[in-house]
Chains A and B, each alone.
Chain A
Amino acid sequence: MPTLASEKKTTRPSARPGRPAPELIFGDLWEFDPAPETADPKLKARYELFINGEFVAPKSGKYFDSVNPANEQKLAEIALASAADVDAAYQAAKAAYDNVWSKLPGRERAKYLFRIARLLQDRAREFAVAETLDGGKPIKESRDFDVPMAAAHFFYHAGWADKLDYVAPGRRVAPLGVVGQVIPWNFPLLMLAWKLAPALAMGNTVVLKPAETTSITCLKLAEILQDAGLPPGVVNFVTGAGEVGAAVMNHPIPAKIAFTGSTEVGKIIMRSLAGTDKKMTMELGGKAANIVFDDAPLDQAVEGIVNGIFFNQGHVCCAGSRLLVHEPVAKEVLAKLKNRIKVLRVGDPIDKNTDIGAINSKEQLGKITSLVASGVKEGAEMFQPACKLPTKGFYFRPTIFSGVSMSHRVAREEIFGPVLSILTFRTVDEAIEKANNTAYGLSAGVWTDKGSRILKMSTELKAGVVWANTYNKFDPTSPFGGYKESGFGREGGRQGLLDYCKLV
């Protein structure tokens, strides 16, 4: 008769009086030597604006510094655009749209996009290093994720460019005209690709502003656009901070404004554009719930939780920053998480072994620090591993808050840093209710062995993306975007293309 393993239940730690609970030792027995990526980022000392196919000095004559957040050293000077520069960029984009780009057949536009994708692949290492120096993200992420994924977006949309008759069955599509785009600092090159590729494939021309702390890879991509022979004016880059962004948004020429960034700024933009006929897409903040049920494969769930919140230092709008864990496994998940984050390597982003790099800016570090302080003050229990941090630069330890309740600030506000808040739930309904009890709705994760539960959760969670038994998976074919204050419009896939055209 088949029997079950019911033999001697070995004594649990609690039943071993006088002996300490067993612990794993993650010490320095085998320290890794530094392994810096050595490819040359080929940075210029000064970057100009990119208008009408040329690098031009700003009319203001002013420049600002771009700083490496890993060591606070200056990397390059970036041109500060004025309203007149933004206007020049729009005039160039309008002329390029009217005279060249809108008249090119899709198959010709595709050639340029393919060329951009290939040139980016050719210079992948160089771009990865530049991205890491400028933004602080670990080289392994810029090398294995940001740059290849950016190239993939150009490839994917190049494939669409000559098939646009099939993008909306039964309808014809036409480009919108000139579009204005503003992107954030967390994935500078990738967000650029997400914005440019569909706009260009559809036949629009572009004025784009990168974030002021991360302009370098954008302006390096301008070199690629030149090398690809892209007609002048089809893509224009203007650099600077908020005022430049406002000028890009409020200019009369663009038919559409696409913005990725904070909900706060998104609201300002929507207010200023109310009453105009500009189309908009907004990809804003998030406070995603990553929901772990008691039947989930826990080690893999823990891996997904870590990937969900510590990827790119938590500077991810879809970061799984709220962990909702089923009460029966809450203790176990927390214990496993602690052991897992003890082996995360925090430090110099250019080191190939670094898991968590530098926080993007001093300002962001301050914001994270104050929100974490509020978590401690409000009574959540904090855990941070005892890793050494570099003395120069902006760094923050991976942080876990347990015993968080829905009213805590760390459970409600987007921290945009390596900080995880853990809440518990008892039933499926409670999990859904807690997950949806947020102003945001960009993404969510579900971990369970039960397929039907995944399907139920994915229909009831008010989130643009629901990942099942994985997290932070992206693909150019898959639309990405939010509900509620996480924005509207989609990027990627057929849906993303539809946001860059009108149906005629």
Chain B
Amino acid sequence: MLATSSRAAFRRLFDEVGTVDAVGVEERVAKYGTRSIKKSAKVWGLKTAVSMVDLTTLEGKDTPGKVASLCQKALQPHDPELGVPQVAAVCVYPAMVKHARKALGSDTAVRIASVATAFPSGQAPLKTRLAEVKAAVADGADEIDMVINRGAFLSGEFGEMQDEIRAVVEACGDATLKVILEVSELETYDNIRAASFLAMRVIREGDFIKTSTGKTSLNATLGNNQVMIEAIRDYYLDTGISIAMKPAGGIRTAKQALTFLVAIKETLGDAWLNNSRYRFGASALLNDLVRQLEKEKTGAYQAPYYFSESAESY
């Protein structure tokens, strides 16, 4: 009964989508960090990165007030004189969606993303998870960040994992879907690539795959990002369907963000260098981007307390 074992399922999947050499990936991404981004290229990169931020608060202690303040930051990250664009979206728990909608209003380019599907573990009955998605969309979420069923994936039940994603796609309606693979729980690059393909095959053009919840020890790394964008590239060249990408968690500095953008520029090309194809799930990152923009303009670094909503100590 070879074909029924989960081992056989994995082998066949790896055969189909190809494997990844960990040493090679890490060598490749190390080169992105050596790119020297200066002057106008730096300003363009920083502003583009700001426009790609999904400004996130995912804490048990979130309140409507905290979310409202985050929304204001999303609309106007800094002094308008600096010409900092608005961020792509705010990302909140489903219970906070209606408060975010109230704070942002309906006439705004800033989108509301919500982490539904029993985030971050996903360990709730499918019915509950789908109800959560529908509720978030009904409350005004434009985008849903779901988690995959890692247990199903790791035990080789790929069909089950994909059926669940399909059900969430349906529950989303017009809302954009981001599928969180939770890469640290998949552990190997082979698994990350394979899971990316399984997800991409059941989501729609313009939907995202996303690295992580930000709730585990290891989140977005250049290596994970590379494996996933290479999967996106191969899928696009094979089918013509463009899937978007969102690394989340662990990207805190402008320098990191620029390095991730270099990876996009050199792997997926210009068509992915915009916020409908690429996002950063982050919170502290935004102020560092703004701080670097301020530095490019004035030549001097400002103290953290010059920037609103700064979480750093004074």
Contact = CB atoms under 8 A, between A and B. Distances in A.
Contacts of B28: 299-300, 303
B160 A299 contact: no
The interface centre, meaning the residue of B13, B34, B159, B240 with most chain A CB atoms within 10 A of its CB, is B240
Interface in B7-55: 9, 12-13, 16, 18-21, 23-25, 27-28, 34-42, 44-45, 48
Nearest to B28: A303
Interface string B180-219: 0000000000000000011001100000000000000000
Contacts of B35: 32, 352-353
B237 interface: yes
The interface centre, meaning the residue of A8, A21, A29, A31 with most chain B CB atoms within 10 A of its CB, is A29
Contacts of A23: 237
A34 B39 CA distance: 9
A140 interface: yes
Interface stretch (B91-99, B107-115, B266-274): B266-274
Contact of B158 (A3, A26, A470): A3
A268 interface: no
Contacts of B155: 2
B19 A297 contact: yes
A27 B230 contact: no
B158 A303 contact: no
Interface in A1-36: 1-5, 7-8, 10-13, 16, 19, 21-35
A467 to B, nearest CB: 12
Contacts of A449: 19
Nearest to A300: B24
Nearest to B40: A33
B302 interface: no
Contact of B9 (A2, A11, A12): A2
Contacts of B261: 30
A1 B4 contact: yes
A99 B23 CA distance: 50
A450 to B, nearest CB: 11
Given A3-B158, A32-B35, A33-B40, A27 B9 contact: no
B309 to A, nearest CB: 28
Interface in A138-161: 140, 144
B158 A4 contact: yes
A1 B158 CA distance: 10
B20 A22 contact: no
Given A24-B268, A27-B270, A297-B21, A7 B202 contact: yes
B201 A5 contact: yes
B248 to A, nearest CB: 22
Contacts of A469: 21, 23-24
Interface in B48-105: 48
Contacts of B48: 30
Interface residues of A, number: 46
Interface string A334-377: 01000100010000000011000000000000000000000000
Contact of A300 (B21, B156, B157): B21
A402 B172 CA distance: 47
Nearest to B189: A297
Contact of B198 (A2, A5, A30, A339): A5
Contact of B237 (A22, A26, A31): A22
Given A2-B157, A469-B23, A13 B240 contact: yes
B117 interface: no
Contacts of B271: 24-25
B162 A7 contact: yes
B298 interface: no
The interface centre, meaning the residue of A2, A21, A335, A469 with most chain B CB atoms within 10 A of its CB, is A2
Given A297-B24, A303-B27, A3 B41 contact: no
A487 interface: no
Interface string B244-277: 0000000000000000010001101111010000
Interface string B221-253: 000000000100100111111000000000000
Contact of B25 (A1, A3, A300, A339): A300
A352 B16 CA distance: 39
A470 B23 contact: yes
B205 to A, nearest CB: 11
A26 B264 CA distance: 10
B162 A5 contact: yes
Nearest to B48: A30
A299 B269 CA distance: 16
Contacts of B160: 3
Nearest to A2: B156
Given A3-B158, A24-B233, A343 B24 contact: no
Interface of A: 1-5, 7-8, 10-13, 16, 19, 21-35, 140, 144, 295, 297-301, 303-304, 335, 339, 343, 352-353, 449, 469-470
Which 10 pairs across A and B sit closest by C-beta, in order of nearness? Answer: A300-B24, A3-B159, A35-B36, A29-B270, A297-B21, A24-B269, A300-B21, A352-B36, A2-B156, A10-B239
Given A5-B16, A26-B270, A352-B35, 4 more contacts: A11-B239, A30-B48, A300-B20, A353-B35
12 contacts: A4-B9, A11-B239, A26-B270, A30-B41, A30-B48, A33-B37, A299-B28, A335-B237, A343-B265, A352-B35, A352-B36, A353-B36
